[in-house]
Structure 1
Amino acid sequence: MPRQLKLLLCAVQFLTRLPVPSFADFEPAWITRAARYFPLVGTLVGGVCALALLAAGQLWSGPLPALLAVAAGVLITGGFHEDGLADTADGLGGGQTVQRRLEIMKDSRIGTYGVLALGLVLAIKVAALAQLPLATAALALVAAHGAGRSAAVAVMMWGPHVSDPTSAKYKPTPDGVRPRELLVAAVLGLWPLALLGWPGLIGALVGAVLAILLAAAARRLIGGYTGDVLGGIEQVCELGVLLGVAAMLAAR
Structure 2
Amino acid sequence: MLLLNLGLLRCLPDRAALTRQEKDADMTKDDTSPLRIGDIATALALLTRLPVRARFERGARAAWAYPLVGIVISGLAALPTWGLLALGLSPVFAALAFLATTVILTGAMHEDGLADCADGFWGGWDRDRRLAIMKDSQIGSYGVIALCLSLATRWAAVVMILSQGDAATQPLVWALPLMVAAVVSRATMPALMSALPHARRSGLSHAQGRASMTTSVIASALAFGVAVGLLGVTGLFLVAMAFVAALACAKIAKAKIEGQTGDVLGATQQIGEVVVLCALTL
The TM-score with structure 1 as length reference comes to: 0.88
1:148 aligns with 2:185: yes
**Equivalenced residues, count:** 239
Tell whether the 8 Å contact from 1:50 to 1:139 is kept in structure 2 after alignment. no
Gap runs ≥5 in structure 1: 248-252
The answer (yes or no) to whether the contact 1:162–1:226 under 8 Å persists in 2 is yes
Aligned partners of 2:265 and 2:205: how far apart in 1?
14
Structure 2 unaligned spans of 5+: 1-33
1:178 aligns with 2:206: no
The answer as to 2:153 corresponding to 1:119 is no
Give the equivalent residue in structure 1 for 2:7: none
> 1:187 aligned to 2:221?
yes
Q: How far 1:148 sits from its partner (Å)? A: 1.1
- 1:20 aligned counterpart, secondary structure: coil
Instruction: Give a deviation string over 1:121-167, Cα, whole Å, max 9, x none.
Output: 111011011112234332121111111110011111111111212xx
Q: Distance in 1 between matches of 2:234 and 2:150?
A: 20
For the aligned residue pairs, the C-alpha RMSD in angstroms reads 1.9
Query: In 2, Cα distance between the equivalents of 1:231 and 1:208?
Result: 14
Bigger mean CA deviation after superposition, 54-63 or 86-95: 54-63
Tell me the residue number matched to 1:157: 194
Which deviations, in whole Å up to 9, do the C-alpha atoms of 1:78-98 show, x marking residues without a partner?
111111111011111111100
**Segment of structure 1 superposing worse, 93-102 or 3-12:** 3-12
* Letter of the 1:44 counterpart: V
Structure 2 residue aligned with 1:49 = 77
- Which residue in the other structure is 1:210 paired with? 245
Deviations 1:29-72 (A, max 9, x none): x1211111111112211221223322222121131111110111
Could you tell me how far apart the structure 1 residues matched to 2:237 and 2:183 are?
A: 15
1:64 aligns with 2:121: no
In structure 2, relative to structure 1, the CA distance for the partners of 1:190 and 1:44 (3 Å cut) is farther
Report the Cα distance in structure 1 between the residues aligned to 2:86 and 2:121, rounded to whole angstroms. Answer: 41
Q: Using a 3 Å threshold, how does the CA distance of structure 1 residues 196 and 68 change in structure 2: closer, same or farther?
A: same
CA gap of 1:219–1:3, structure 2 versus 1, over 3 A, is closer
Q: Distance in 2 between matches of 1:171 and 1:148?
A: 17
Larger Rg computed on CA atoms: 2
Q: Matched residues in 2 for 1:139 and 1:99: separation?
A: 42
Tell which deviates more after alignment, 187-196 or 98-107.
Answer: 187-196
- Between the aligned partners of 2:180 and 2:79, the Cα distance in structure 1 is 14
Q: Is this contact kept in 2: 1:90–1:111, CA < 8 A? A: yes
Which secondary structure does the structure 2 equivalent of 1:103 belong to?
helix
> Contact conserved, 1:66 with 1:129, CA < 8 A, in 2?
yes
Return the alpha-carbon distance in structure 1 between the equivalents of residues 52 and 83 of structure 2: 26
- Give the match's secondary structure for 1:128: helix
Runs of 4+ aligned structure 1 residues displaced above 4 Å come to: none
Cα 1:13–1:65 change in 2 (3 A) is: same
Segment of structure 1 superposing worse, 120-129 or 206-215: 206-215
- SS of the aligned residue for 1:224 comes to coil
Check the 8 A contact 1:82/1:118 in 2, yes or no: yes
